[in-house]
Amino acid sequence: MFRFWRRRTTADGIPARPRGGAVRSLLVSLAPLGLWLAEYAPGALVLALLAALAESATRLRATGLWGGGARGTGAWAAGPAATAPVRDCPHLLASAVRRALWRSVIRSLGGRRVVGRVPGGPCVVVANHRSHADTAVLLATLPVRGRPRVAAAADHWFARRRRRFFCRWLVGGFPVRRTGGGREDLLRAREFLARGGMVIVFPEGGRGTGAELARFRSGAFELARLAGVPVVPVALTGTARVLAKHGRRCHRAPVRVEFGAPQWSARPEEVRARIGEMLRHGGPPAGG
């Protein structure tokens, strides 16, 4: 047992990666999150670990939506493994665990109010982006059967080991490059949508701070068109008060989630205008 943790070296005297390094890296990466969850949502740590185990057991690399951030490109793995059949049951379990986890967290931070019809079939969910809490709110709201996956910035969420573990296992994120190649990264999600999945995209490309929405990028809309699924606009209100941009501390504040009607063959400027209208005319967020 003690040899398992003993520091090993290669033939050249270079320290080798210790056995069990992946497990220890996971625990280290979850430590900051664990402290936060222990304060705001005791008991959610068990759900977090179950989500990690479920994702590991189902080998998400086979879906093409696990990502290749460790390779430095942020793109999916290519070849037959990227299109291999997926057993849905473990993925549904992982989705259910994530939903329960983030519902517990959001409830402890003030709750959420859902307005409009939550989508039930495959779609590309497009939302405004003001906070990292946006992702948690959407995962807490979307149905388990959609196994929601989140398009995440490769240069931020997949650049460091801790963020990569958090994004993959607790959020279900996959890397999308923002400095070239992002379109190809998104379009590889077509087969996941064909299997009834949901993909969450923040088309502004980053978190904003002003009242006006930034220009929407076209990748999410091209993905929806090629996959033959609708774009569902979502307006999120109150998340910036829960966790501000560059903020390190969460605050209690209610959140409002408003779903618009599914848009087929919609253009980016049309959906941007629709979300802007929902943000302007929507009522103040309320707890729930």
Measured CA to CA in angstroms, residue 26 lies from 166, 167, 169, 170, 202 at distances of: 9, 12, 10, 11, 27
Classify 267 in phi/psi space as left (phi over 0), alpha (psi -120 to 50) or beta: beta
H or E segment at 188? none
pLDDT tens readout for residues 90-113 = 778 888 888 988 998 898 889 999
| Cβ contact 167:114 at 8 Å | no
DSSP at 210: S
With a cut of 80, say whether residue 43 has pLDDT above it.
no
Looking at residue 96, its pLDDT comes to: 87
Looking at residue 269, its pLDDT comes to: 95
| Cβ contact 262:119 at 8 Å | yes
Flag the least confident range among 24-28, 178-182, 230-234, 240-244: 24-28
| Cβ contact 139:152 at 8 Å | no
pTM of the model: 0.70
